[in-house]
Amino acid sequence: MAIPLSDKISVETIISAFSRHEYPADLLLIVVWLIAGIGVIYLPSLNTTIVRILLALPVIVFIPGYCLVAALFPKKDDIDLIERIALSFGLSIVVVPLIGLGLNYTSWGIRLDPIVISVTFFTLVMVLVAQYRRAQLPQERQFTIQFSAAAGRLHQKLLDKEGKRVDRVLNSALMLVALIAVLTTIYVIVNPPVGERYTEFFILGENQTATGYPARIIAGQNYPLSIGIGNHELESSNYTIETWLMQTDFNNSTNTTSILAMDPSERLQLTLADNETVIIPYNLLIQRTGYTRAEFLLFKGVPPGLEVTGRDRINASYRELHLQVTVEDNPGLGI
């Protein structure tokens, strides 16, 4: 099957655009920096050092936007250098969150690997488009950066007194906005906001469900429960769980509950890493009648001594749960 002449020209044009021996220095630098930035993210020896921020930060806040600008404006007289730099920061701050928003609606989600792959793919596609569009222009019209002269050009644009004052002010404002955006991003990365610190403490009934809690208890019989603890304190934490059996009295006139007796039952100590959750099987066993409440106290760190009891001990706990129970005699034991 013969290929139409227009298609042959298109294929030849594409091949010609990427078979050149010389490639723009700015696009080559982008690709090299992109590879280095990805490398420091995954290299164990570097991904916890300042090198990660120095190399990976431009991959997020500058490079995607720069490549998009390069693809949109291949001519050297489309926009000047300061506008390219300012647009690169601005478009990067727009493009990367949009990529994250798109990933949020996929099975991959907003995680490190999908974001790195997506940003890298977008950047490389824009590099190819920029290279193709520049190749279609005469060499003297292509945008290029002479790095040795770039600093001088920026200085001239910002400080040259012979230029228009409005242009100098606008150019300075663009660079200031870009600088503020970069510094803000660096600050957020270096000093991430601290999330809320808290510990989950919960009791599950039989079969680890939020139902089936025992209310009427036969003395001497075991009632299976589960006690759950989730550490979200942003650090490893030591916990102590105490079970107390209580005799209480409710005063209808004052609508208050008083503690008549409070006897220790069991104690469990454990250490959980940050974001670790455990569910511990527990058998509630009450040997005699008279108790009306099973109290579960969670202490973080060292609990107070046993001389602290009653309402003071409950108030000293980090978290508190209880079950109201009615304890009946066990006919089989002749109680």
Residues 118 and 152 in one domain: yes
Is the domain of 211 the same as that of 266?
yes
User: 124 falls in which pLDDT band (50, 70, 90)?
Assistant: very high
Cβ atoms of 228 and 202 within 8 Å: the answer is: yes
The verdict on 159 and 216 lying in the same domain is no
Decide if pLDDT at 45 tops 60: yes
At 67 the pLDDT is 93
Q: Are residues 161 and 204 in the same domain?
A: no
Q: How confident is the model at residue 277 (pLDDT cuts 50, 70, 90)?
A: very high
pLDDT score at 190: 58
3-state helix, strand, coil in the chain (%, to 5): 45, 25, 30
pLDDT greater at residue 19 or residue 80: 80
Do both 142 and 260 map to the same domain? no
Domain edge (last residue) among 168, 190, 212: 190
The pLDDT tens digits of the residues spanning 69-98 come to 999 999 988 888 778 888 888 888 889 989
Do 100 and 34 belong to one domain?
A: yes
Per-residue tokens: 327: 């304890």
Amino acid 268: pLDDT: 94
pLDDT at 335 over 50: no
Query: Domain boundary residue among 127, 156, 190?
Result: 190
Average pLDDT over residues 147-162: 55
pLDDT at 198 over 80: yes
In this prediction, residue 272 has a pLDDT band, given cuts at 50, 70 and 90, of very high
Are residues 136 and 83 part of one domain? yes
Are 181 and 291 within 8 A, CB to CB? no
% of the chain beyond a pLDDT of 70: 79
Residue-number span of the structural domain to which 316 is assigned: 198-333
pLDDT at site 4: 46
How large is the average pLDDT for residues 320-332? 86
> Do 269 and 303 lie in a common domain?
yes
- Tens of pLDDT, residue by residue over 131-144, are 888 888 888 888 88
Q: Both 232 and 155 in a single domain?
A: no
Residue 236 to residue 206: CA distance in whole angstroms: 29
123 band by pLDDT with thresholds 50, 70 and 90: very high
Judge residue 143's burial from the number of C-beta atoms within 10 Å of its C-beta, 0-12 exposed, 13-18 middle, 19 or more buried: buried
> How many separate domains does the chain show?
2
Task: Please say if the pLDDT value at position 9 is more than 70.
Answer: no
Q: Which residue has the tokens 């808290």?
A: 198
Is the pLDDT assigned to residue 52 strictly greater than 50?
yes
Residues 240, 112 within the same domain: no
Say what the pTM is. Answer: 0.51
What are the tokens at 96? 């990367």
Last residue of a domain, one of 169, 190, 211: 190
User: How confident is the model over 145-169, as a mean pLDDT?
Assistant: 58
Question: According to the model, what pLDDT value does residue 57 have?
Answer: 85
pLDDT at residue 181 is higher than 70: no
Query: Are 31 and 126 contacting, i.e. CB atoms less than 8 angstroms apart?
Result: no
Q: Are residues 153 and 291 both part of a single domain?
A: no
- For residue 53, CA distances in Å to 28, 38, 318 come to 21, 11, 38
Tell me, yes or no, whether 125 and 23 share the same domain.
Answer: yes
pLDDT digits (tens, 9 = 90+) for 103-112: 888 888 788 8
Cα distances from 326 to residues 166, 217, 244, 280, in angstroms, run: 83, 6, 15, 24
Residue 319: pLDDT band by 50, 70, 90 thresholds?
very high
Give whole-number Cα distances, 67 to 34, 119, 131, 187, 205, in Å.
11, 11, 10, 25, 58
DSSP summary character for residue 333: G
Q: Can you give the CATH number for the domain in which 268 is found?
A: 2.60.40.10
Burial 281-291 (b: 16+ CB within 10 A, else e): ebebbbeeeeb
Residue located via tokens 């007289």: 77
Mean pLDDT of 248-274: 89
Check the CA dihedral 281-284-287-293 and report its sign: positive
